[in-house]
Amino acid sequence: MIDLHGIFPPLTTPFDKEERLRPDKLRSNIHNLSRYELSGFLVLGSNGELVMLDHKEKLEAFYAAREAIEPGKLMLAGTGCESTRDTIQLTREAGKAGADAVLVLNPSYYKGQLDQEALVSHYAAVAEASTIPVIIYNMPANSGLDMNAETILAIAAHPNIIGLKDSGGKLEKMEQIIRDAKPGFQVLAGSAGFLLPALKLGAVGGIAALANIAPAQCIEIYQLFREGKLEEAEALQKKVVALNLAVTRQWGVPALKEAMDHLGLYGGTSRRPLLPIKKENKEQLMRLMEELL
């Protein structure tokens, strides 16, 4: 069992202007973010453009990140693929690369056949084959499939499945999972937009895009909650919502990378079909950053 308490940034994947992978920039971003009291890093989550990379590039990103992540900080690796076979292969290779746990997004293309039985079977096969713990990833905004509490709880029964990153934001469902899951099962908020509400329900932390550009604020919300300073935590939670929305559902990964470039990190381009943020939206983004940072 590994401890998932705390804040994890889902790292972006750096590309140059020709959209070639830049592992050196991934390492430098990790070094820069390691100045903060983060619990670890997620490599190749949704913000890491996982679906845009080929298999070789995914492995290159895993090894580059592991090289840069300091001892004592966790490396979580996104390994969800559409087939169980490919997910198992990438999960095993993430373990060989030094990941501490894998984050597995559910397959979603054949939604009509992906009932509870199929999803439980998929995750069980991955968990059985994995040499490291597995974390469920529910991301309906991207996958188009929102796993219900009953399905997640059935998946979570496997002994090698230790937690859930839920980006759906349905607090009632999150509360049910936290209440009814096996002892020690750890739930992480999938967005800074509902970090504090999730912590109040019993979540142990968060994997939040905002932690790439506002790590101090995300960590402070977590620490204030842990110290029982709820009024201060609630005030800061309200402040982060607008910028968080801008770099997630509103303008997405290109906006997050633009914000990183502005802060002296390496954002760079996103892979097409994702387009750069528009000029007028960039101006709004800069204003939101000035207000929070």
Torsion angle, alpha carbons of 15, 242, 3, 139, to 10: -70
Q: Using CA atoms, how far apart are residues 191 and 212, in angstroms rounded to an integer?
A: 12
| Catalytic position from the list 58, 73, 165, 257 | 165
Strand, helix or coil at 169? coil
Residue pointed to by tokens 């202007």: 17
CA distance 256 to 171: 25
Is residue 41 within 8 A of residue 139, CB to CB? The reply is no
Q: Could you give the count of Cα atoms lying within 13 Å of 50 in the half-sphere of its Cβ?
A: 22
Contacts of 26 by beta carbon, 8 Å cutoff, 6+ apart: 11, 13, 14, 43, 61, 64, 65, 68
The structure tokens 């619990």 sit at: 39
Respond yes or no: is residue 165 known to be catalytic.
yes
Catalytic residues: 165
